[in-house]
Amino acid sequence: MEDENKLSIYRAARTIKRKENTLYNALRSIHDDSVFVGEISQLWPELPLLANLRCGLWYSPRFDSTCYFKSTDGHTNNWSFNTSRLNLHVAHLAGQKGGCIIVDSTRKGKRFPDSMSKTIPIWTCVFNRAIVNHRSRMQDHDERAEGVSSDNHESETSDQRAENTRQASHEWDSSLHLPLWVSKTERASIEERLEGWTKELEASGADIASLASCLKKPIRPLWISQKTVIWLNEVPDHGSWDFTPIILVSASSSTGVIQHRTTSEFSWNYIPGAGDDEESWARGLSPDLFWKNVYDIINSGPDTCNQKVANMVEKDRVYCAQRGQNAPQVTLKPPKSLNSTSDPSCVEPVLSLDNLDIKNDIQFCDDDSTVYWLGTTNIAVGTALAAAYTTCVDCVLNCGRENFSACHLNAESYLHLPIVDSKFDRFSLRNNLASAVNFARLNLRKGKTLLVFCQNGEDISVCVCLAILTALFDDIGTFDDGKSFSETHISKWDMRRRLVFLCKFAVKARPSRGNLKQVYSFLGGGRPSSHTPSTPSTM
């Protein structure tokens, strides 16, 4: 009996939580928090606004770019500087514009997610240290090139110039800047690892020289939340600081208690960090589709919000399908209930294409159609939409589930490999990499250009390009038909260096750990044949 009571209490608590975390509550909370984000961005309108993927993407209708700093890299006793997520484009953008603003949020009742409390501060410190080391090496190189002059006056001038350079290096702040709530013990533990992380960055092949020339001041994080007090008549100009600001905006209120809010029309429960874990609540709605129809959704109220969003998602899906894009149907799990009989008022009607009138009564999504060319390799990576509208390539490698109609290509210039994510099949990518590499070899030999794409252009297609670059190109990115690969045992560092090179151009690349492991397994275990596809060894 006691176990049954505990189970009933647990089920009741889960039911209450589901009722609090409804779709309308989440979207209304996001909309309210976006007002704060907009106010902060207007304080420094010259600075670009960046969303930290994926949660941050919900909190503004307009972002200049995105970045990918993971909270797990800043978790206590799990601190990390990951060369697979260098975010070099963020540092370059900050250098060009004099700083930037990054938006993220957290559900955990904290003011800032760990991505902002520790991951980004570690990132800024490691980059600053690498820049100082680079400048020191350049100074030593200049001194050796000049040599010792017999002219005392010239010698004094040279010594003075070297001293000025050395002083400039000392003035470049490379210390670790953490928020006050990070303990001294944790700070000390992080500082012990900084030298090793700096060496990893320098060994990764990242272009520190261009970064050093782009940044005029060291990068440094600043933290702003809804509890931050800002005097509007005393907002400093970002150019007046002696550093390049990386302004970290935590969008949500840090209260851990559900707040009940009311307007003249509706009432709802405020959810801190509502944009997090979108798979569990968004019902197929994307940030782009939400913001293009925000007023219709918010004004629909909590009672009809689910149906309103379901109609929009399905209409957008059909619209995308009519344009030849991959548009899988969204399936939702039926809501659970304490009782076997559900409340009829909570049952959502089943959508039918026959009842949907696809008109311009909603604003449809405009997916990313950007093609990223990887330097001078003749290889490009992009999304399925980019492939649909790109005719400037000679051959196409489709890594998505759906086949693709490329009327301007013949059979020899198009290959479809239906690769699925490692979450669904741990060997899908690996088992297709030999065919992908050999297809790329046959076409790159002829000097043709190659587009590799998957649905989002961020993960699977990036991993396929990484395998092609490693198997068919040398260290400096020159096509050698696999010569250097056949003569070298590929290490994880070799692969990371290639990934850094790739991410320099494909700034939205976000390869998953599971897929990267498959690439490394293939490169370490199988050697692509010059004539026929090889069969990689088993893991």
Query: Over the stretch 77-95, which tens digit does the pLDDT of each residue have?
Result: 989 999 888 999 999 999 9
Classify each residue of 177-191 as buried b or exposed e, where b means 16 or more C-beta atoms within 10 Å of its C-beta: bbeeebeeebeeebe
More confident position, 311 or 369: 311
- Side-chain half-sphere exposure of 34, counting CA atoms within 13 A: 22
Q: Is there a contact between 312 and 289 (Cβ–Cβ < 8 Å)?
A: yes
Same domain flag for 89 and 225:
yes
Rg (CA), the chain: 26
Q: Could you tell me if 231 and 188 lie in one domain?
A: yes
Same domain, 88 and 210: yes
Domain residues for the domain of 483 are: 371-525
63 and 137 belong to one structural domain: yes
Claim to verify: residue 239 and residue 293 sit in the same structural domain: no
The total number of structural domains in the chain stands at: 3
- Residues 200 and 103 both lie in one domain: yes
Please work out, in degrees rounded to the nearest 5, the angle formed at the alpha carbon of residue 346 by the alpha carbons of 345 and 350: 100
- Statement to judge: residues 64 and 211 lie in one domain: yes
Whether 362 is in a domain gets the answer no
pTM recorded for the entire structure: 0.80
The pLDDT value recorded for residue 316 is 86
Q: Does residue 332 form part of some domain?
A: no
Of 62-76, 131-145, 178-192, 434-448, the one with minimum mean pLDDT is 131-145
The answer to whether residue 28 scores a pLDDT higher than 70 is yes
Averaged over 478-499, what is the pLDDT?
89
In a domain, 365, yes or no: no
Beta bridge partners of 224: 249
Domain at 377, CATH number: 3.90.190.10
pLDDT of residue 528: 47
Give domain status of residue 435, yes or no.
yes
Q: Are residues 393 and 511 in the same domain?
A: yes
Residue percentage of the chain with pLDDT more than 70 = 78
What DSSP string describes 42-64?
A: HHSTTSPEEEETTGGGGG-S--S
Residue 151 located in a structural domain: no
Are 97 and 240 in a shared domain? yes
Q: Which of 300, 327, 354 is the last residue of a domain?
A: 327
pLDDT tens figures, 432-443: 999 999 999 999
